[in-house]
């Protein structure tokens, strides 16, 4: 573990803030946890079909996007892949990117090339970020409508939207031209090395430039593919919107189980913040970081701190407790007859990216 890494210290600070929150609100949290026995289990049980539809949406995203690349895979098979990916991304400590290597292996067994699986997973992340903008705008509207939009929440939502749009436009500008990609990758080491003198003084090679070049090369292929087939992305976009909607609905159902109706706008913003932060988490599934940030944002939107923490924990534990074992079953089944050591190497290597 690199103790000079910015990512490491961001995680430490976030976890420290979570611990401080728990300490200051310990009495309220004790009362909230006592209410677990009073949870309305009808609402809790409704989470199961909603989450099943979430995985169905992921499977249909895979199917519709692969179809644009001339690949036809059954939804039932991709449904299993979705559950396996959920297990991988929540168990392996790689900030939400551990699925790249496994997805390539898994789809390879279904006849899909490695380059196509990489484009599929990359596109999923990009489209997900784009859908966040739509949901963040909806969140601000809902918060303003019911009078609970604080200045901090407005700043947070607009800042995330701006950063996503700005980042997307810069990325699009670079990957749309091979010459710009070469210039960018040539200049990147110089920039990183300057930062590395302060943050990674003992690191001889802070980044792998070959991996960066390959990544941007894949993105350039994806860009050309999307430019030619942009109309075909309507279905993948729809299914990505549905994926996020079912997750937001799941959190809303947890609050209903606590007999509380909270503004969906607050849930949307906290969900977006937690998922974006999960990309830099050094812990499996963003444990600690996810809960801390979601709780903090919900509290800043006017939700009781103890309730926000309790609901977040219930959401995470209930969701993982049901679907991770199922994902592990299909993961284990998919590896039957395969070299498990080789697969572990792929996942470990991918997790360091």
Rounded Cα distance between 58 and 236, Å, is: 9
Decide: 106 and 84 in contact? Cβ < 8 Å: yes
Greatest CA separation for the chain? 62
pLDDT band at residue 203 using 50, 70 and 90 as cut-offs: very low
Tokens of 324: 């991770």
Q: Distances from the Cα of 349 to the Cαs of 15, 100, 179, 273, in angstroms?
A: 26, 10, 29, 27
Rounded Cα distance between 301 and 156, Å, is: 11
Rounded Cα distance between 22 and 169, Å, is: 39
Model-level pTM?
Answer: 0.78
**Which pLDDT score is estimated for 351?**
47
Beta strand residue intervals within 72-183, DSSP E: none
pLDDT band at residue 3 using 50, 70 and 90 as cut-offs: very low
Rounded Cα distance between 130 and 205, Å, is: 33
Q: What is the mean pLDDT of residues 204-227?
A: 67
**Which pLDDT score is estimated for 131?**
92
Rounded Cα distance between 119 and 107, Å, is: 12
Q: Delimit the domains of the chain by residue range.
A: 6-351
**Which pLDDT score is estimated for 353?**
46
Q: Which residues have a Cβ under 8 Å from the Cβ of 70 and sit 6 or more positions away?
A: none
Rounded Cα distance between 220 and 61, Å, is: 21
Rounded Cα distance between 75 and 332, Å, is: 20
Q: Which residues have a Cβ under 8 Å from the Cβ of 311 and sit 6 or more positions away?
A: 251, 254, 255, 258, 260, 298
Q: Find tokens 């573990």 and name the residue.
A: 1
User: For 76, what's the count of Cα atoms within 13 Å in the CB-facing half-sphere?
Assistant: 0
Decide: 115 and 106 in contact? Cβ < 8 Å: no
Taking residue 141's Cβ as centre, other Cβ atoms within 10 Å add up to 12
pLDDT tens digits along 230-261: 777 899 999 999 999 999 999 999 999 998 99
pLDDT tens digits along 160-200: 888 888 888 888 888 887 788 777 777 766 666 665 555 44
Q: Which residues have a Cβ under 8 Å from the Cβ of 80 and sit 6 or more positions away?
A: 330, 334
Rounded Cα distance between 193 and 203, Å, is: 9
**Which pLDDT score is estimated for 32?**
55
Decide: 164 and 130 in contact? Cβ < 8 Å: yes
Phi/psi at 309 (5° precision): -70, -45
Query: 75 or 93: whose pLDDT is higher?
Result: 75
pLDDT band at residue 145 using 50, 70 and 90 as cut-offs: confident
Taking residue 45's Cβ as centre, other Cβ atoms within 10 Å add up to 12
Tokens of 149: 């939009």
Q: Which of 18, 3, 4, 2 is nearest to 286 (CA)?
A: 18
């Amino acid at each position: 573990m690199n103790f000079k890494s910015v990512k490491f210290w961001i995680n430490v600070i976030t976890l420290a803030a979570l611990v401080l929150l728990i300490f200051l609100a310990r009495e309220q949290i004790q009362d909230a946890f006592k209410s677990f026995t009073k949870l309305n289990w009808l609402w809790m049980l409704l989470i199961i079909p909603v989450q099943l539809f979430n995985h169905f949406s992921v499977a249909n995203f895979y199917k519709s996007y692969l179809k644009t690349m001339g690949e036809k895979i059954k939804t039932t098979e991709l449904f299993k892949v979705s559950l396996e990916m959920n297990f991988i991304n929540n168990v392996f400590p790689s900030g939400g990117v551990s699925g790249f290597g496994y997805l390539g292996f898994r789809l390879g067994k279904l006849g899909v090339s490695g380059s196509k699986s990489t484009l599929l997973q990359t596109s999923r992340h990009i489209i997900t970020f784009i859908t966040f903008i739509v949901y963040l705008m909806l969140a601000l509207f809902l918060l303003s409508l019911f009078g609970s939009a604080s200045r901090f929440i407005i700043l947070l939502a607009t800042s995330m939207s701006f950063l996503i749009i700005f980042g997307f436009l810069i990325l699009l500008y670079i990957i749309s031209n091979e010459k710009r990609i070469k210039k960018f990758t040539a200049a990147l080491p110089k920039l990183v090395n300057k930062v590395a003198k302060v943050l990674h003084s003992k690191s001889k090679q802070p980044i792998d430039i070959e991996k960066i070049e390959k990544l941007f090369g894949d993105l350039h292929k994806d860009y050309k593919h999307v430019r030619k087939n942009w109309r075909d992305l309507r279905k993948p976009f729809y299914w990505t919107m549905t994926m996020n909607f079912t997750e937001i609905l799941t959190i809303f159902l947890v609050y209903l189980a606590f007999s509380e109706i909270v503004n969906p706008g607050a849930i949307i913003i906290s969900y977006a913040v937690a998922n974006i932060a999960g990309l830099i988490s050094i812990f499996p599934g963003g444990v600690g970081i996810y809960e801390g940030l979601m709780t903090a944002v919900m509290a800043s939107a006017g939700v009781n701190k103890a309730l926000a923490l309790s609901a977040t924990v219930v959401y995470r534990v209930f969701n993982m407790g049901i679907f991770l074992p199922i994902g592990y079953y299909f993961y284990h089944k998919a590896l039957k007859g395969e070299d498990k050591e080789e697969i572990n190497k792929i996942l470990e290597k991918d997790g360091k990216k």
